[in-house]
Structures are given as structure tokens and as C-alpha cells.
Amino acid sequence: MHRLRLASALCALAACDQGGKPAAAPPPPPALDAARAIAPAPPAPAAPAEAMPPVAYHGAPGPAYLGIDGAGLYRLVDGTVTKLIGHKYPIKQIVVGADGAVFAVAIGGMWKLGKGAPERLDSSGRRSLERIALGPDGVLWGTDRRGVFRWDGTWTEEPASTFGGAQDLIYDLAVDRDGRVWVMQSGALWRLDGDHWSKLDIGFAGTSQPFFSALAIHPDGTVVVAGNPGTFAFANGRWRKTGLAGRYGSLDELAISPAGHVAGSGGVGTIAVQAPTGAVRTIELDDGPARAHRGDVLAIDGAGRTWITTDNGLVILDRDGALAQQWLPGTVAGVTGKLTAAAVVGDGPALPTLTAAATGTIAGKVLRAGKPVGGAAVELCDSPLTMFTRTPCESSTASFRATTAADGTFALPGVPVGTYGFAVKPAGQWIILIGGDCCTALTAGGTYDVGAITLD
């Protein structure tokens, strides 16, 4: 048994922002020796929307690398899921080099997987990285939202002051085919040419206050930027609008396949995919074909399959938008939590054989000031919301509810093995779990006791 603690979100009709897992912030490593001069870049207005250029691609099957919350890093090959690295915190991003080397970054860890044993790359003198990118020379770049770090066997840093200071957070970075590093903030783009960082002109966005949200590199070398004003591509010294957009015009995530497919997700459950031909297809998860409401694109493979993490497991759509497979919680051996990251090589692997969902019972007790709380409503779902109309689990495809007995105990039977969060309503307001996901240790046919949920 372990102890769960909840904090009041003061949610009667709506609530405060949702918190994340805290991370320590030790001092950064020394800055690079060479001074970086910041040079202005010439304006580059956007051209009208047009398709991406075709890519010469010869497909072949390849593995998929998956980050599973509460479990670690896994590999899918020939329909079999194998654990590579155990880690209890979410994997944030996975990238694969041209030589097959795999890099994964998580809260509290970072690894390189080559031919031998996994190599730890994180350092006690550096904050956890949030995003990483590989250059064509095999050099790894990353950001902790403030500075930019470079790894070629040793770590060096470009400090936050280069990018306007620590208050201007970095949301993404990428390295283009020419080895230039691109850094994206919500309202700015930077590029490293040689030893010089340039703050780029963003007039192409059509607004002085854009909100950029994702950055990726097309296999033909084009740089793709998504955000509130739309999705734009940079090639041959000019920007153009791509025509790829979500329901409300913006995308929050981007993924590009080796064959030139571009996929993104935005809003709650909008999935947009641009084929190499330029045709754009938009799907709302609420409308099918999958059983899910919310989703984020993780990857798109060379066969055009889009890999989407949702509120109801992993959804894989084929190149025509039909459902190739949905990993409902508990239906894939070895997958015990929500998928938080994915990288798929080539056309990707054969998919696993799905089974009936492995289910068990979640039990616990609700206490306040050490005394049991009877008659409290308990909800369990993939991610209880802190802003809602009726209940914190109202937007989840699958949720489970119970009422505590007079002694404060509750039981939720028939819960598939997976990652969940709690919400409790002892009286007039809902209280949301703060401090971690639950229940990945649940086993088929078993009972997992979460222990005491305290409302103090």
C-alpha cells in the first residue's frame, strides 16, 4: 500500500490550472567558450499556401520506440513489445539517428541506446531537458526551456540570456539538413548559423504576437513551424503557408514521416494529416473511427500510419484515416500505462495481437484529519480535469465511479490495467489528485490498494 494525497482544486463549476510533476532545478553547466554574436536575419514574407515537395522514399519496416508512463522505454518489433529501460516518470521525447542510435529524455533521466548497454547522459549539474533534436552530424541538442545544450560526448550550454532571458521560455528546437539549429519560443524563432545566433523575422506569421507551438524538419530539409496563426514551411529562403490546420486554425503537435507525410493535432481531438501529394485530411476523434475523445499526435511512419495517444489508449490510423488498431488499456501485453512519446523508424513494425482487456479492482480509503469520510463520490479516469462543467472525468471515454462506505473505503472493479488519476467529492466541491499517476501495478484479476487518500 502507498499513500495518496489530494489537494483542493476549489472546483464547483470550474477550477484552477492543472499542475504537473515538480522537477529540481540545479545550477546549469558552464557556458560555451566561444562567444555567440546575435545577428539580425533578413525579413522573409510568407508565400501563399502550397503543398510540400515530393520526397524520394523507399520504404522498409522498422521498429517503433514507445515511452510508457510509469514503466519506461519500450520497443515494438514484429508485433512484440519489449522493455528496454525501466523508469517511473514519463518519457518526454524519443529521437532516432541515421545510424539507429536511440535517444530518450524523461523527467529525471536521459539515455542513449546504441549497440551496447544503455548509456546515461543526464548530469547532476544540469536541469532535466524537455526537448531534444539530432543533427546530421550525430550531435545532440536539447533545451530545458531556458537554455540550449549541446552534447557530442560532453555537455556545453548556450545560456538563456542568448534567447532573451529565462522569462522567455523555449518550447521546441530542431536541426535542419544543413546542421543549423532552430529554436522556437512562443513569439520568436532563433537560428544558429555557424557560431552566430540570429533572431529571425517572423513577419510571415501575419501578426506581431504569434503563438508558435511546434517545430519539425521535413525530410527534404524544409523547416515546418506550427502555431496560432497557422502552419508555415521555410525552404529556399522563403516562408509559405502549408494549408495544414486544426479545427480552430492551429496545431499544438507536429510529426513528419520519412516519406513526407506531415501530421499534427490541435484543440481537444483534432487530427490533421497532409499526404506527400499535398492533400489534407482532418479527423475529429469524437466522430470516430476510434473510441476516444482527446488525442495528441506522437508520430507518423513512412507507410502513412498516424500514432496518436488518446484518453482511451493508443490509436493508430492508416494512411486513409481508417482505424488500423486501437490499444485500449490492458489489451497489449507489457503496456501498462499511457503512451507519452513515440518514434517510428521507416514504415514501422507489424502491430501486436490484441487481447481481451486485463482488468482488476482498485481499492482505497478516503480520510480527513485521520477519520474516514463516508458518502464521498470517487472518480477514476485517465486524466481528471481541473476545468469542467459536471465532473472532472466528464471528457474521458472510460471512467469509473464509486461512493465511499461509512468507513471511508471504496472499490472500483473492472478497471483495465493502465494509468489513471483520482478525483474525490466529499461534499460540494471536487478535489483532484496532486502528485502522481495511479495503478500501473494493477494486475489482471487482482486488487490494487492505493491506501489512504487524505483530504487534509
As given in the structure block, the three cell numbers for residue 368 are 480527513
pLDDT at 51: 60
Q: What is the mean pLDDT of residues 56-64?
A: 94
Each residue's pLDDT tens digit, 258-300: 999 999 999 889 999 999 998 999 999 999 899 999 999 999 9
Residue 442 sits at the vertex; the CA angle it makes with 382 and 343, to the nearest 5 degrees, is: 55
Helices and strands of the chain, counted as H and E runs: 0, 39
Give the list of residues 6+ apart from residue 22 with CB closer than 8 angstroms, or none: none
E strands in 18-78:
37-40, 46-47, 64-68, 72-77
For 396-454, write each residue's pLDDT tens digit.
999 999 999 999 999 999 999 998 999 999 988 999 976 556 787 888 899 999 999 99
Mean pLDDT, to the nearest integer, of 45-74? 81
The reported pLDDT for the residue numbered 448 is 92
Residue 127: band (very low, low, confident or very high) from pLDDT cuts 50, 70, 90: confident
Q: What's the whole-number average pLDDT of the chain?
A: 87
Residues in a beta bridge with 256: 262
4-22+358-454 topology per CATH:
Immunoglobulin-like (2.60.40)
Distances 378 to 10, 250, 291, 381, 392 between C-alpha atoms, Å: 16, 35, 23, 10, 10
37-344, CATH topology level: Methylamine Dehydrogenase; Chain H (2.130.10)
Phi, psi of 10, deg, nearest 5? 50, 55
What is the structure's pLDDT at 449? 94
- Residue pair 47/240 in contact (Cβ under 8 Å)? The answer is yes
When pLDDT is cut at 50, 70 and 90, the band that residue 82 belongs to is very high
Per-residue pLDDT at 386: 86
Lowest-pLDDT range of 60-64, 248-252, 382-386: 248-252
Kindly state the cell numbers that stand for 352: 501486436
- Give me the mean pLDDT over the 51-58 stretch: 75
DSSP reduced 3-state for 296: strand
Report pLDDT digits (tens) over 183-205.
999 999 999 999 999 999 999 99
- The continuous run of DSSP H or E covering 194 comes out as none
pLDDT band of residue 166 (cuts 50, 70, 90) is: confident
Q: How far is it, in rounded angstroms, from Cα 302 to Cα 59?
A: 6
Helix (H, G, I), strand (E, B) or coil at 286: helix
Q: Cα(394)–Cα(385) distance, rounded to whole angstroms?
A: 8
Between strands 72-77 and 80-86, the pairing is antiparallel
The residue behind cell 484479476 is 445
**pLDDT band with cut points at 50, 70 and 90 for residue 53:** low
In the chain, ranges of CATH 2.130.10.10 domains: 37-344
Phi first, then psi, for residue 223 (nearest 5°) are -95, 130
Integer Cα distance of 323 and 264 in angstroms: 17
Q: Which of 272, 304, 269 is nearest to 290 (CA)?
A: 269
Instruction: Choose between 15 and 272: higher pLDDT.
Output: 272
One-letter amino acid at 321 equals G
Predicted pLDDT of residue 427: 85
Contact in structure between 179 and 191 (CB atoms under 8 Å): no
The three-class DSSP label of residue 374 is: coil
- The whole-number average pLDDT for the span 10-21 is 37
Identify residue 406 by its one-letter amino acid code. Answer: A
pLDDT tier, 228 (very low <50, low <70, confident <90, very high otherwise): confident
How far CA 373 is from CA of 130, 270, 434, in Å, comes to 40, 40, 19
Q: According to CATH, where is 2.60.40.10 located in the chain?
A: 4-22+358-454
Rounded to two decimals, the pTM is 0.87
